Amino acid sequence: MDKIEIIGIIAGFLTTAAFVPQVYKTWREKSTKDVSLSMYTVLFMGVLLWLLYGINIQSISVILTNATTSLLVLIMILLKLRYK
C-alpha cells in the first residue's frame, strides 16, 4: 500500500473516531442543549450518500468508515431527541 492510501486510511479512522467522545459525553451527561440537531441531520444525510458512493466505487475503506460514522451520527440524533 502506498503512503497516500495510508494517509487516507488514518484520515478516515480519525474523522469516524472523532464522534465517539461526543456520543460518550452526551450519553453520560444526558444534555444536548448546545448540540445542533440540524448539523447531525445534514451530516447523517451526507454520510449516507458517502456510503452509497463507497458502495458504487467498491471502496471498502469508504464503506466501513461511513457505515460506522452514520451509526454514531444516528446515535447523536436519537440522544438529541431524547435529551432535549
Q: Which chain residues interact with its own copies by CB under 8 A?
A: 4, 7-8, 10-22, 25-26, 29, 31-36, 38-40, 42-43, 45-47, 49-50, 52-53, 56-57
What's the CA gap between 36 and 39, in Å, rounded? 5
Question: At its nearest, how many Å lie between its own copies and the CB of residue 31?
Answer: 5
Residues near 35 by beta carbon (within 8 Å), at least 6 away in sequence: 22, 26, 76, 80
Question: At its nearest, how many Å lie between its own copies and the CB of residue 19?
Answer: 6
Question: At its nearest, how many Å lie between its own copies and the CB of residue 56?
Answer: 4
Cβ-based nearer residue to its own copies, 7 or 81: 7
